[in-house]
Structure 1
Amino acid sequence: MKKIVILTGAGISAESGLGTFRDKGGLWSQHRIEDVATPEGFARDPELVHRFYSARRQHAAEALPNAAHDALARLEERWTGDVIIITQNVDGLHEKAGSRGVLHVHGALSGALCAACAHRWPAPLQMTPETRCPACDANTARPDVVWFGEVPYHMEQIASHLEEADLFVAIGTSGQVYPAAAFVQEAATYGAQTLELNLEPSEVSADFAQHRFGKASDIFPIWVEDLMRDAA
């Protein structure tokens, strides 16, 4: 086994204090998805959307990686083959833990995107409708995140990795958001072993051949050590 493809979802960051879609009392519970996570919502009320993402950006900037992020960075460093990290998360905690070349399928809070000229640049902690693009000077800046109804990033590259994977692992994913929820089926079609590491069974749990359930910070470091020991 040489190539490991790992998909991470909100569950891996929950223990770092960053909420998921389903958390009660969190940022997402205070707004409708249609209002803060769609192009239409941004067109209706850009001030609300910027305020929402500025709060998320601030929280992410203050958050620290947990044991699961650290274990993944160790695996990437020590594994003799390829470790490809695909994340649905926009928080940047994989990079804080030391992971390199992470494929952000839903973009990143740390990025800004000009809706007029498509220029990208590092986002300030606070963005407003008056934030201007440094390339074209238009006040059409938006968070560089993928909203519902938009095409996720890196899909061609991801398809190639899924085709080549010897092992596909999903950590902390709900299995509710596509196309990422279908990655396990795609990888399995090409012959990859499949493993789900999750707090509880996901919506696509039946598509995985193997499962381990528990907190990501508990079960993932143990799995990494087991894998490295077996490969030694």
Structure 2
Amino acid sequence: MTRIAVLTGAGISTDSGIPDYRGPQGEWTKEPAAQRLFTYENFMADEGTREEFWRRYEGHPAWEAEPNGAHRAIAGLANVRVLTQNIDGLHQKAGTPARKVLELHGSMHRTVCTACGEGFSTRQILSGGKECPRCGGILKLGVTLFGEHLDAEVIGQARNIAAASEVFLAIGSSLHVEPAAALCAVAVRAGARLVIVNRDPTPYDDMAAAKITEPIGMAVPRLCAELA
């Protein structure tokens, strides 16, 4: 049975109504200044930045989003591991077991205290205060902001999965954010066949055995059917 690893980025969730960041209609394309909200230093230093950050997530479309055909097609693969840059939880909601999903950049469904490390459901926090109920510290969405390092254990596990794969699919990711994007190179150097599904050019196109530019909602179900 072919060992398949799938790296997914924001582009896989746009058909579920969640805007991406860098696409033509992306959040940061339309509002470049919004990127400052996602920088750890800014978030921790300025209460106004934190308030604006939390306002954006109170009504975020991801709360009501449902998995689309691409998520469900990946969930239907028998021997797959998902390495996702997304924080929306839609792979798990589509049926991929949580044990097979590595959330490289964390999850919007969890919030952590930057002082004591206590974890909370983000839904619980959104309906109440934005200070830790345990110690009064600053609460932060359980995701990696610019200026923070990815969890070393998680990225190490991701590299092992990439190196063990026979087919590595990179779907809906600009492949500009490291170290997640470098998983493509890890897979190829270990002998995997890299397939990139993205409308736009990426830094790893030259490594790919195949580059698919048709819409993700069409390409991924077909590709998964072929792999199955």
Q: TM tier, shorter chain?
A: 0.7 to 0.9
Query: How far apart are the structure 1 equivalents of 2:215 and 2:124?
Result: 30
Listed one character per residue, the Cα deviations across residues 200-226 of structure 1 (whole Å, up to 9, x for unaligned) are 332321121212221111010011111
Distance 1:117 1:18, change over 3 A: same
**Residue in 1 that maps onto 2:144:** 146
Query: How far apart are the structure 2 equivalents of 1:38 and 1:129?
Result: 23
Structure 2's unaligned 5+ residue stretches are none
**Residue in 2 that maps onto 1:88:** 85
Contact residue 197 and residue 212 of structure 1 kept, 8 A: yes
**The one of 64, 87, 94 aligned to 1:62:** 64
Task: Tell me which moved more, 44-53 or 60-69.
Answer: 44-53
SS in 1 for 2:174: coil
Contact residue 116 and residue 135 of structure 2 kept, 8 A: no
Contact residue 114 and residue 137 of structure 2 kept, 8 A: no
Contact residue 50 and residue 129 of structure 1 kept, 8 A: no
**Residue in 2 that maps onto 1:36:** 37
Distance 1:93 1:51, change over 3 A: farther
Listed one character per residue, the Cα deviations across residues 111-166 of structure 1 (whole Å, up to 9, x for unaligned) are 101100122221127649942335x3323211111011211131111121122111
The TM-score with structure 2 as length reference comes to 0.87
Contact residue 19 and residue 25 of structure 2 kept, 8 A: no
Distance 1:213 1:25, change over 3 A: closer
Query: How far apart are the structure 2 equivalents of 1:33 and 1:54?
Result: 12
Distance 1:68 1:25, change over 3 A: closer
**Residue in 2 that maps onto 1:184:** 184
Query: How far apart are the structure 1 equivalents of 2:200 and 2:23?
Result: 15
Distance 1:3 1:149, change over 3 A: same
- Cα displacement (A) at 1:186: 0.9
Describe how 1:1-232 pairs up with structure 2 within 5 A: 1-23=1-23, 27-28=27-28, 29-30=30-31, 32=33, 34-56=35-57, 58-75=60-77, 79=78, 82-101=79-98, 102-124=101-123, 127=126, 130-134=129-133, 136-153=134-151, 154-228=154-228
Query: How far apart are the structure 1 equivalents of 2:25 and 2:217?
Result: 23
Query: How far apart are the structure 2 equivalents of 1:129 and 1:36?
Result: 21
Q: How many residues align?
A: 222
Structure 1's unaligned 5+ residue stretches are none
Q: Percent identity?
A: 32
SS in 1 for 2:181: helix
Distance 1:214 1:25, change over 3 A: closer
Distance 1:53 1:192, change over 3 A: farther
